[in-house]
Structures are given as structure tokens and as C-alpha cells.
Copies of this chain bind each other. A is one copy, B any other.
């Protein structure tokens, strides 16, 4: 059965973004440090159109696995474009993923503001206004038997956890303390997990968990 999986980079103190997020600095102050481990990898460069460059190894293998798994993506409005109000007022209404976003599959964006589907390259952004369960059902239907990936941000992750939708959760823990920002777990998410796998490198620790459902 297809799974709902989360892969997310987080600081040791639990932040997925630093404080004072803006359209120019969507990850907030210091937030880019959470993703430094990924930028030099061959897999990441390929997914952004740069072939034959970058590092290989355990981190790269893991990103390849992560990119290959899903048939659809679920994300929050801020992760699509950074805005919070209506699309008419949003200078980033086309998102910040460029003309050829790296997804190449349907991406379901959870938002309060309806709009038409946006197709950019091989990626279609479908905007869902009736809640996380509906967005997940639509994503699962679109995934063609493959898994659905939750891309973030924190609010969507928390909604998935609270609704009991998440099957697997992989955190990429960056060796940094941000001290402030957006917490991955903001209180209220409860449950047992099972460690599935740990992969470590000098720059990041990847821990993959299964969410244990009560019988």
C-alpha cells in the first residue's frame, strides 16, 4: 500500500527554518545551514538540471532514493511561494521553484485561497482548500500507486501527524543550533515511532522512523 512519507531537514534544536522569514530569505536567518548538506550532491544537482557534477556517497544515495519514491507531493502554501494572503496580492504567485520545478509530478498545495492548477514544466501545482485529509486523498489518487511525499513546511507536517496520516518520517539532522525560528514539532504531536534506519555522514544524520499506529 502506498505510504505517506516525510523527509525534512531540521536543526538539532528542532527548527526547520530560522526566525524572520521573508520572500528573499524564505528559510529565515540561519535556515540555509539546515540544507547545506544537500547542495553539493550529484543527485540534487541533477534534479536541478546540472548533470555529471557533485558528490556521491551515502548522502547522495539517500537523496536519490528519496527522489525516486513518490508519485505525488504534498506541501504547504508557504513552501510553494512564501506568501500568506490571497494569490492576487502575492508577488510570488508563480512560486519560487522557477520555470522547471524539480518535482516533475503533481504537487498538492494546501492553502486557504482557491486558484486554478498551475503547470510549470513537468510539474503541476494543484491548490487544495478543503484540508489536509482531502489534499492527501487527492495526492494518493494522483500518485498512481507510488508513495506520497510530504515536502513541508512544519504546519503541514503537524497536520498530517495529528490526523494520523503519516506512515514514515525521515529527519535529516543538521549539526547546528538555530535558537529560534519555526519548530518542526510545535507541541501536540504525540506517538510512538520505530527506528527503521540511521545513515550518518560528517555533515548530517539521517534517521528514518515508522509511525506506530495503535492497534
Binding site for B on A (CB under 8 A): 12-14, 30, 33, 161, 171, 173, 175-180, 184-185, 187-195, 198, 200-205, 207, 209
Contacts and interface: CB of A to CB of B under 8 A. Distances in A.
B12 A171 contact: yes
Contact of A205 (B180, B184, B191, B198): B198
Nearest to A200: B198
Given A14-B185, A161-B177, A177-B189, 5 more contacts: A12-B171, A13-B184, A176-B193, A195-B200, A195-B203
A205 B176 CA distance: 17
B173 A207 contact: yes
Contact of A207 (B161, B188, B205, B209): B205
A166 to B, nearest CB: 11
Q: Which of A161, A193, A202 has the most CB of B within 10 A?
A: A193
Q: Which of A30, A33, A173 has the most CB of B within 10 A?
A: A173
Contact of A179 (B175, B188, B194): B188
B12 A193 contact: yes
Contacts of A204: 195
Given A12-B209, A14-B185, A207-B205, A193 B177 contact: yes
Contacts of A202: 194-195
Contact of A175 (B180, B194, B205): B194
Contact of A188 (B180, B189, B192, B194): B180
